[in-house]
Amino acid sequence: MSSGRFAPSPSGDLHVGNLRTALLAWLCARTTGRDVVLRIEDLDRVREGAEQRQLADLAALGLDWDGPVVHQSQRARFYDAALASLAGRGLVFECFCTRREVLEAPSAPHGPPGSYPGTCRDLTASERDERRRERPVALRLRAAVADFTVEDVLHGTVTGVVDDVVLRRGDGAVAYNLAVVVDDAQQGVDQVVRGDDLLSSAPRQAYLATLLGATPPTYVHVPLALNVDGRRLAKRDGAVTRAELVDRGVDVLALIADSLGLEGATPHDMLRTFDVAAIPREPWIVTPPA
C-alpha cells in the first residue's frame, strides 16, 4: 500500500505552521487513496512529553493515521543494514572534518557555500589511520553524481546539488538523510509533503534512495508559515501552538483552513473540494491574535 506521511521531531510543541503542513500531508494522502504514516523522528532532540502533546494536537484537529506510530530510535538495525549495503559497494568513506571546517573550506566547484568539498574523500590508508587516532570518524556517501533531478507537484522539475552527505555522524548517530530515506522506502511512502525549506534536500535524498534500490517519492514542498517580520514562525512570536491559540478563543482548524482557502468543519469535509494544485504558493504570514 502506498503512503504519505507526517514526521515531526519531538523537540517541542507543534506550531500552527507545523499543523498546517500536517493537514496538507493528510489531505494529499487521503485524496489520492494513500495511507497516512505517522513517524516520530526522535534521533536527536527529544523533549519530555512533546510527542504526547503532538499526537494530541493532531487528533484534536481531526487527523488520523494508519498503523502504529513509528519511532526512528527503534530502527537502528535498518539503518545499519543500509549503511553496510552502501559500504559493501564502495560508496562510503570516512570523514574527519568538523562542521566548522566544512563551512570554512572552499566549496566543491559545483556546490553552494557549505557543501562538502571532498576533503577526506581520497585519503590514503595511513592518513586515515593517523586522523582516526585524533578525531571521531563520520561516514559519508561517495556520491557519483554532482546533481540529481526530482519532480515536485508545486515546484515542477527541480535539479539540485548532490554532495557527499553524512550518513553516520562522528558521535555514532545515524544522519537524518539516511534515516529518512530508509524509513520512507520501508514504509511504502511514495508521497512526501513537507515545508519548502527542505526542497534543496530532495535531490540528494532521492539520489540516495536510488542507490538503495528504492523509487524516489513524489514531492509536494509547501510554503512555510512566517511571522509578521517574514521570519520562520517560532515560540517567540507569541501564541502559536494549538493550546495557546485555543486559550485565546481561536478555532485553530478554521484558521489553518482559511489560510489555504479550504472549506469544511473537519478534515474529512475538506476532502470533497481539496485540490493540491490550489495550494497557495506564497508563505503564510501568521498574525498573532489580539
pLDDT at 115: 78
| Annotated binding residue 28 | no
Kindly give the pairing relationship between strand 225-226 and strand 284-285.
Answer: parallel
| Annotated binding residue 173 | no
- The length of the chain in residues reads 290
Whether the Cβ atoms of residue 47 and residue 11 lie closer than 8 Å to each other: yes
pLDDT at 154: 97
- In percent, the amount of the chain with pLDDT more than 70 equals 97
Same domain, 100 and 44: no
Residue 231 CB contacts under 8 Å (≥ 6 apart), including other chains: none
Q: pTM of the predicted model, to two decimals?
A: 0.93
| Annotated binding residue 207 | no
Task: Supply 192's cell numbers.
Answer: 512526501
pLDDT at 98: 87
pLDDT at 176: 94
pLDDT digits 0-9 by tens, 44-86: 889 999 999 999 999 999 999 999 999 999 999 999 999 999 9
290 within a domain of the structure (yes/no): no
pLDDT band at 161 (very low <50, low <70, confident <90, very high): very high
Measured at the CA of 198, the angle between CA 209 and CA 217, to 5 degrees, comes to 35
Domain hosting 79: range is 75-217
Task: Supply 124's cell numbers.
Answer: 590514503
Same domain, 147 and 39: no
| Annotated binding residue 20 | no
Task: Name the catalytic one among 89, 235, 248, 265.
Answer: 235
pLDDT at 110: 55
146 within a domain of the structure (yes/no): yes
Q: Which of 217, 235, 264 is the last residue of a domain?
A: 217
| Annotated binding residue 41 | yes
pLDDT at 191: 98
pLDDT digits 0-9 by tens, 88-140: 999 999 999 988 888 877 655 556 666 788 899 999 999 999 999 988 999 99
Of 24, 31, 26, nearest to 280 (Cα)? 24
| Annotated binding residue 206 | no
84 within a domain of the structure (yes/no): yes
Same domain, 100 and 147: yes
CATH number at 263 reads 3.40.50.620
| Annotated binding residue 5 | yes
pLDDT band at 187 (very low <50, low <70, confident <90, very high): very high
pLDDT digits 0-9 by tens, 205-247: 999 999 999 999 999 999 999 999 999 988 788 889 999 999 9
Same domain, 102 and 209: yes
Is-catalytic flag, 235? yes
pLDDT at 208: 98
Q: What is the mean pLDDT of residues 279-285?
A: 96
pLDDT at 108: 55
| Annotated binding residue 9 | yes
pLDDT at 114: 65
98 within a domain of the structure (yes/no): yes
pLDDT at 288: 76
Same domain, 207 and 91: yes
Question: Is residue 38 scored above 70 in pLDDT?
Answer: yes
Same domain, 267 and 191: no
| Annotated binding residue 144 | no
pLDDT at 112: 66
